[in-house]
Amino acid sequence: MTDKCRPIGFFDSGVGGISVLKTAHNLMPNENYIYYGDSKNAPYGQKSEEEIKQLSLDAGKVLFGYGVKAIVMACNTATSAAVKIMRQKYNIPVISMEPAVKPALDADGKVLVLATPATVSQSRYNVLLRRLHAGEKVINIGCGGLVELIEDGKTDAKTINRYLDGKLKVLGNEDISAVVLGCTHYSFVEQHIRQYMKENYNEGCKIFDGRQGTANQLKHILQNKDLVCYNAPSKVEFVTSGDPSTIQTYQELFDSF
């Protein structure tokens, strides 16, 4: 394999980053990809910053072992805690993600950011909010428990609506015009969240996430570093720290997303 066609490594705590992988694959179908889902350690979003740092370094090591040419941290939680240390440790491009608050701020009413408890409490995210002068326009909700439902495949409308009923009660009558999906897992239940917001808050509520921005950034960096692979067909491979039989689920989620 030529240097340029080495795989691009993606990782997340579990299945969430597959939504980002699929977006990147749509944009760059000739690249080779390897996806590492750290399902054994999911969810990251309820762990300490130090634990998330260590898990991210471990995930980077697994991907590095596959000879990847770049690493995509397909996880907002891991980015918040560990992007700096990942860039110090690995001498290849490390692409990260953060909640897509910036484009959502154009909305007329308030912006609701749904992310993991770790992301909304970490300083990197709060620095971002200050930099964007988000002020009171942004309401953050740490969605403990939602990643677990998605990891367990409990993604039917009834289950997600019940979850949102409980979690969003605190919003009262707020006028929510935009929702930011600040965790890559949530893209797998985006349709339910969209419908719920329409029915309960605002018919025109818009949904934002960082998938396309991250894929565009990856492409830009590969072009700049002369690392684009033009060979077809490409290969997409999945590995997990969890039960190896779940690889089939990874593949199905990738195919159907």
* Burial label, 54 (beta-carbon count in 10 A; 0-12, 13-18, 19+): middle
Q: Pick the catalytic residue from 5, 143, 183, 229.
A: 183
Does 183 qualify as catalytic in the annotation?
yes
Nearer to ligand DGL, 113 or 134 (CB): 113
- What is the nearest approach in angstroms of ligand DGL to the Cβ of residue 151? 8
Residues 4-23 that bind ligand DGL (CB under 6 A): 12-13, 16
First to last CA, the chain: 29
Write the CB contacts of 160 (distance below 8 Å, at least 6 apart in sequence): 149, 189, 192, 193, 196
d(CA 204, CA 63): 41
Query: Between vectors from CA 118 to CA 152 and to CA 79, what angle results, nearest 5°?
Result: 95
Q: Which amino acid is located at 121 in the chain?
A: S
Nearer to ligand DGL, 78 or 227 (CB): 78
Distant-in-sequence contacts of 224-227, Cβ < 8 A, 24+ apart: 225/93, 226/4, 227/3, 227/4, 227/69, 227/70, 227/93
- What is the nearest approach in angstroms of ligand DGL to the Cβ of residue 201? 23
d(CA 66, CA 73): 16
Nearer to ligand DGL, 6 or 185 (CB): 185
Q: Is 17 helix (H, G, I), strand (E, B) or coil?
A: coil
Q: Is 77 helix (H, G, I), strand (E, B) or coil?
A: helix
Nearer to ligand DGL, 7 or 14 (CB): 14
Does 229 qualify as catalytic in the annotation?
no
43 binds ligand DGL per the rule CB under 6 A? yes
Would you give the binding string for ligand DGL spanning residues 99-138, x where CB under 6 A is met? -----------------x--x-------------------
Residues 183-212 that bind ligand DGL (CB under 6 A): 183-185
Would you give the binding string for ligand DGL spanning residues 51-90, x where CB under 6 A is met? ------------------------xxx-------------
Which residue has the CB atom at the shortest distance from ligand DGL? 45
- What is the nearest approach in angstroms of ligand DGL to the Cβ of residue 71? 15
Nearer to ligand DGL, 100 or 227 (CB): 100
Q: What does residue 8 show for φ and ψ, rounded to 5 degrees?
A: -95, 130
**Catalytic site positions:** 75, 183
- Contact residues for ligand DGL, defined by CB under 6 A: 12-13, 16, 42-45, 75-77, 116, 119, 147, 183-185
